Chains A and B, each alone.
Chain A
């Protein structure tokens, strides 16, 4: 019967599909003991283009060390990486070992998809910097859900000639937020508002470096609407009104503000040692006048970014996946990766290597050494529970305050309220 056949076809079609992405809470065992063997998949985040030989060598070394293992390396583009992981996680196709950042680990751990390494790989804990190991802990949950991989922090670049034109001492760039605000207002005033000092609105990291308490200790509610938070936003509003903050800052992305710095429209911009090469190539005049200083901080601690390597809790090859995740992040392999690109190892003692302590007269080395030094007491100011949606809420409310539509206090109250609501909805 055609109707029955059609109905059967539809049921047959819909039933298996409806199972897709149903998630579940079976996080499986955390026992990773046993023979290291079998096929595993390792996913990185936009690293193939520049580091293909390094990762191919890494995989070959691991397979040689553990005969009977086979690692399939896949790389995903930077754009939409979280969406790719979302699709894989929802579809049950998450790779066995995945390159993640702490904010990506949090929802995966809550869904029971990230292996608790405090249980499955506790023996490796002492190999890493304590702060780095703790960076993948999730408030409200027991355990650590990814091996710390490379750390990064960036210096702040500034345009010496713009500083000089404004009558500022180019050899004494601002170090604290107070100094930054004074210099920025001076620069805007002397250039008749043509030169802004910054091109971005304050981010959650800025609130952290200013000394604002971002969340309560239990990690159950945000708290950046305190007196200090309001003070920071009020000062930014003053900068915006004086054109010390670029007029397009409200819609800026890191890329667009980087371009503003390249063209001399803004005087300061955060970056990394990698940027020096770009300045040399794309803006030789700027490169001649480039100043390098530490991140602005009023807490004495700079912000660091942490990358992690997570093990899929539902992998069928737990011993091999844990062994490989550890292998990628061990001291020797992190050090060899750090020598290929401007990143810093998260393993204990690695930052004392002469590579991170001895000057050779080049700017690249100077930036590397300064960054390595500041990393020793750096903090990852981005709360791991701070999702993309929350970042948008903060940016939008900050923008409203800068435009004068609401007071800084009201804007931060609204942002905290919205972020708390999203936090509760995350479960």
Chain B
């Protein structure tokens, strides 16, 4: 039974270790081999507490240098007036107090929040419907699965440029709109339309990724449940709502959590479509764009940008906890 080894007492484990170590020394010289095996067991026992750390050292080093150090450094910098070339001094909560009076910070917070509200519902529901469409094994379906996944693997810069061309005042979309008599629309010059256009690109690019996650979740929905519901006379929509949705609810929560964190930290789409200033008068700036704009360059205010980063971190963690808490409540 698999559980027997799992419940082994420490004593048994030690005995097991001893026998493992003794085996190679079984050369016929029982006494000598016994003494050596005892020494070997003692050596292994001495080495055991540190050896896991040795194995973990390369990983710890990478995590320490590339994850922990930048993170701790950002938090520390948030309490200083550090600039790119000047180390700065401890200023307490001054950066956070300044944030409260910084118009651009509130614009960034508003846009990042709007992005979550606009993008997350679409990214939870649309890929689910798309996954339903492509889950059937019919001839040629692989083409559609690949086609829907293509935007995921395309470079965001290329995607951004293509959408800018499409939505430009003289681009394809506006030419079509003019041809049908609607007239040209300032997708890239109006503050709100620009944000909406960037959200559309985010949803378009993310659909395929979340579709794959849903397809994997569908594979775990017991077929018997669908059959039972069908026997009871449930139609396709009712089966979807009463069988499929409850079965993939955890996946929907996961998609919601992942997409809300990504949406709150959005940078590339808005940067590419709205320009480095963040749209007209900077009205489309998101928080991460503000971090980039404030903290980079030779005159970058690293301390202040770090304070914005800390706010982004706190809000993203809060978002995750909120989504997971909502999930737990529904479970209860």
Say if the beta carbon of A10 comes within 8 Å of chain B.
yes
Say if the beta carbon of A223 comes within 8 Å of chain B.
no
Say if the beta carbon of A395 comes within 8 Å of chain B.
yes
Say if the beta carbon of B22 comes within 8 Å of chain A.
no
Contact A253 B275 (CB under 8 A): yes
A334 to B78, CA, bound (A): 46
Known: A263-B170, A422-B299. A251 touches B85 (CB 8 A): no
Among A407-427, those with CB < 8 Å from B are 422, 425-427
A399 to B190, CA, bound (A): 12
Say if the beta carbon of A34 comes within 8 Å of chain B.
no
Known: A107-B298, A248-B189, A388-B299. A403 touches B280 (CB 8 A): yes
Q: Interface majority SS on B: helix, strand, loop or mixed?
A: loop
Contact B65 A388 (CB under 8 A): no
Known: A2-B49, A251-B274, A251-B277. A107 touches B85 (CB 8 A): yes
Question: Chain A residue with minimal CB distance to B301?
Answer: A425
Residues of A within 8 A of B317 (CB): none
Contact B281 A405 (CB under 8 A): yes
Nearest chain A CB to B68 CB, angstrom units: 8
Cβ 8 A contact of B169, one of A9, A82, A248: A248
Question: Chain B residue with minimal CB distance to A396?
Answer: B282
A405 to B168, CA, bound (A): 24
Contact A89 B84 (CB under 8 A): yes
Contact A396 B281 (CB under 8 A): yes
A387 to B295, CA, bound (A): 12
Say if the beta carbon of B186 comes within 8 Å of chain A.
yes
Say if the beta carbon of B8 comes within 8 Å of chain A.
no
A109 to B280, CA, bound (A): 34
Question: Chain B residue with minimal CB distance to A18?
Answer: B73
Contact A86 B300 (CB under 8 A): yes
A400 to B60, CA, bound (A): 50
Residues of B within 8 A of A247 (CB): 169, 186, 189
Residues of B within 8 A of A253 (CB): 275-276
Residues of A within 8 A of B81 (CB): 425
Cβ 8 A contact of A89, one of B73, B275, B298: B298
* Cβ contacts B270-312/A at 8 Å (1 or 0 each): 0000111101111000000000011011111100000000000
Say if the beta carbon of B326 comes within 8 Å of chain A.
no
Among A8-25, those with CB < 8 Å from B are 9-10, 13-14, 17-18, 21-24
Contact B280 A392 (CB under 8 A): no
Say if the beta carbon of A122 comes within 8 Å of chain B.
no
Among B172-197, those with CB < 8 Å from A are 186, 188-189, 194
Contact A392 B169 (CB under 8 A): no
Cβ 8 A contact of B65, one of A6, A13, A89: A13
Residues of A within 8 A of B60 (CB): 6, 9
* Cβ contacts A16-49/B at 8 Å (1 or 0 each): 0110011110000000000000000000000000
A395 to B57, CA, bound (A): 50
Question: Chain A residue with minimal CB distance to B304?
Answer: A425
Residues of B within 8 A of A107 (CB): 84-85, 298-299
Residues of A within 8 A of B276 (CB): 253, 392
Nearest chain A CB to B97 CB, angstrom units: 15
Residues of B within 8 A of A18 (CB): 73
A253 to B274, CA, bound (A): 10
* Cβ contacts A231-266/B at 8 Å (1 or 0 each): 000000000000000011011110000000001010
Say if the beta carbon of A204 comes within 8 Å of chain B.
no
The 3 A-B pairs at the shortest CB distance, nearest first, are namely A111-B85, A399-B281, A250-B280
Sample of 23 A–B contacts (CB below 8 Å): A17-B69, A18-B73, A22-B87, A23-B85, A82-B296, A82-B298, A83-B296, A107-B85, A110-B85, A248-B168, A248-B186, A248-B188, A250-B189, A250-B281, A251-B277, A263-B170, A387-B298, A388-B299, A389-B294, A392-B276, A396-B281, A399-B280, A425-B83
Q: A247-B169, A251-B277, A403-B280 are in contact. List 4 more A-B contacts (CB 8 A).
A: A2-B52, A9-B64, A251-B188, A426-B83
